[in-house]
Structure 1
Amino acid sequence: MRPPLKPFGTNLYVAAGVGITVGIGLLWWEPFRAPPASAIILLVSAIMLLLGYKIRQGRELSLTLTFMHLQFHSHYGGWLAKWHNIERIGQASVQTDGWYEPIPWVGVSLKNYDPFLTAICPRVATKLLLDQRILLVMAHKRLSDPPFELEDILFDDTPYITADGQTIKGLMAMLANRMRYNRELLGYDFFISEDFLDCSAAEFAGLARRYLAAS
């Protein structure tokens, strides 16, 4: 499952190609007067080409659902959660005036954090912490009497002890603590943005639950 490719990166490629063609054409037709204008056009075209490449690289991600696991892939790494270790999965929501408002994220709750923490790479862990902190902020702000300060839970790196007694510190400990706070305030450990999907969060949650039930 891949997110739909946004046209912006492709449009930059097209614009860069047009610019290069125009720049070379000016040099061909006006070899004495055109070099300054051609140089500017070619430079801008090269920048657009580079930006288009970076945008397309950033969108190279996908989710794989198999009979064994749910896995996230990207050019900077990924994560994996086996179905037998997933407790529940569904569209996330936040509470507003006693009502639960769905948000465009899919939440995942795990039975055991240890396999997830040992399989995820540091870059992806950092992305999860940064990209999903807005959800924790939203949930915290909706509490009339929050049990802890927001700054304390966003950057809590208290060492995490695995089931076999191993101590995890630093970034992975911060991720484990963030997952614990997410579950307390939002009902899930971590989330998948609807931007990563080729369908709505509700549709993906329904599909994932069918895999979970069959595992």
Structure 2
Amino acid sequence: MQFNVTPYAKRNAIAFCGIGLLSLVLLMFIHLVLEQVPTGITVIFGATAFIFMLLGVGKLIEPPVSLVITPDQIRYLHRRGSWEISWDNIIRYDVPRLSRILDLEDAPFLGFRLYNVDEVLNSISPRLASALLFEQRQLLTMALRHERPDQNDYSQYFDIPNQYVSPSGTVYKGLIASFGLRMEQMRDLLGYDLYVSATALDREVYEFKAHLQKLQASRNEATDATPD
């Protein structure tokens, strides 16, 4: 049985484009009815139209499905490529939590801790590795600020490695090496190797985790019921 996840963020694409288009129409109307339009109004409406249209188009070009979940694996889909992990490779998954003085703060991601990172590194494309390194840079910054507050030099977390050697001894180079090192760093900081943004999910992240647990339980029951 296959379960497809349509990202909640994609549902706002038409609304964002509509707001951008409406701002542009209003700006044109103002220029038609007024002989002289203050520069500030033009800048405000023009910037609003540009930002919302950009956000809307960005959401529209994302794949209609962000995750494909089957009894065998979980596959993540992005406009730059995909990665996949088998259920048997997952140690655990949860919402990463950041230390905040006497409290904990949830990060807007679902994290996966894996037995074997090579499965991801062998399936991810350099284009997707590059995109995720950029998109998750803020998560790394948050993790360093909360988990390593006394560390003065963070340069090691942003350096580009010549190569990355996985725990299995496999050597990776280029963008895959950078992504492999980032996975290792994030496991050390937050306890998980792989992260899916909450914007790629179809429901609140804790609800999605609960739903994923039900899918996993159904998968395990089906596997146990299968005769050898």
| Deviation of 1:69 (Å) | 0.9
Partner SS, residue 144 of structure 1: coil
Q: Is 2:149 aligned against 1:144?
A: yes
Which of 8, 16, 23 aligns to 2:15? It is: 8
Q: Is 2:103 aligned against 1:96?
A: no
Residue 160 (structure 1) aligns with: 164
Q: Which moved more, 1:178-187 or 1:67-76?
A: 67-76
Answer yes or no: is the 8 Å Cα contact 2:166–2:180 preserved in 1. no
Answer yes or no: is the 8 Å Cα contact 1:91–1:105 preserved in 2. yes
Q: How large is the RMSD of aligned CA atoms in angstroms? A: 3.0
Q: Is 2:62 aligned against 1:58?
A: yes
Q: 1:115 to 1:13 in 2, by over 3 A?
A: same
Q: Is 2:204 aligned against 1:200?
A: yes
- How far, CA to CA, are the matches of 1:57 and 1:140 in structure 2? 32
* TM-score of the superposed pair, with normalisation by structure 1: 0.74
- How far, CA to CA, are the matches of 1:133 and 1:190 in structure 2? 13
* TM-score of the superposed pair, with normalisation by structure 2: 0.70
| Deviation of 1:3 (Å) | 1.4
**Residue-pair matches, total:** 187
| Deviation of 1:119 (Å) | 0.3
Matches within 5 A, 1:92-131: 92-131=96-135
What is the identity percentage for the equivalent residue pairs of Structure 1 and Structure 2?
29
Answer yes or no: is the 8 Å Cα contact 1:107–1:192 preserved in 2. yes
- How far, CA to CA, are the matches of 2:16 and 2:150 in structure 1? 45
| Deviation of 1:10 (Å) | 5.1
Partner SS, residue 203 of structure 2: coil
Q: Which runs of 5+ in 1 are unaligned?
A: 20-46
Answer yes or no: is the 8 Å Cα contact 2:74–2:84 preserved in 1. yes
Q: Which runs of 5+ in 2 are unaligned?
A: 26-49, 221-228
